[in-house]
Amino acid sequence: MDACSERVVGLEALVRWQHPQRGLVPPGRFIPIAEETGLIQEIGRWVLDEALRQTAAWRAAGLPVVPVAINLSVSQFRHPRLQQDVAEALRRHDLPAHLLELELTESVAMEDSDFTIARIASLKQLGVTLSIDDFGTGYSSLSYLKRFTVDRLKIDQSFVRGLAQSPQDDAIVATVINLARSLGLHTIAEGVETAEQLDFLRRHGCDEIQGYHFHRPAPADEVVGLLRAAAAP
């Protein structure tokens, strides 16, 4: 949501496994196994395709679509076919690249900074938006952040959770917002759950927010109402 207008300006696609016996399995339970076995590539391509397929379906139905973000695992980000997979998926669903946002965690970005700079540049050539997720939880290097041609920083919810309660979290979040602004980057705060947190983020100039204060994760059919509301005058 836009922090000021509270209109929907983006979506994040979250993967869950609907198991016949165990019910809805969170990604923390199966993604590490998928990484170890190599299945993460197939899952990642499916998530990319499904997110774009759904966006294209909403667009064809006349709904006002917004960019959709997907998370990249470390092996996806390092896979030589990533740029090709993204380009093919966008062509397959006839979507402009600005409707796709790719998120990589700070730890992934910092693993091999020279590679990251080159890989981000190749993805930016496609026209997609790129963001650093969980910012502040890894070992940031401001010199490399300056060289990463990303568009957004996502402030980790572990800092947002303590807003208006912890002076240390207040200081960290305010500093990240100011840092991003000085670098010309957009800021998104994750895990916003209270009016007090939202008020702090607004006062300090955070651009966008996401979290249970506005909406919980929902299936695609429930998102339709949010998209319609976003277009209302």
User: How confident is the model over 119-149, as pLDDT tens digits?
Assistant: 999 999 999 999 998 887 665 556 677 778 8
**pLDDT tens digit sequence for 29-70:** 998 899 889 899 999 999 999 999 999 999 999 999 999 999
Tell me, what's the pLDDT at 232? 67
Give the mean pLDDT of 103-109.
81
Pairing state of beta strands 152-155 and 11-12? unpaired
Q: Containing domain of residue 120, as a range? A: 11-231
Specify the CATH number for the domain of residue 70. 3.20.20.450
Domain contains 30: yes
Domain contains 5: no
Domain contains 164: yes
Nearest to 100 by CA among 53, 66, 76, 68: 68
Count: domains in the chain: 1
Tell me, what's the pLDDT at 122? 94
Domain contains 2: no
C-alpha–C-alpha distance, residues 73 and 53, integer Å: 20
Query: Environment class of residue 81 by beta-carbon count within 10 Å: exposed (0-12), middle (13-18) or buried (19+)?
Result: exposed
Tell me, what's the pLDDT at 213? 93
The b/e string for 83-111 (b: 16+ C-beta within 10 A; e otherwise) is: eebbbebbeebebebebbbbbbbbebbbe
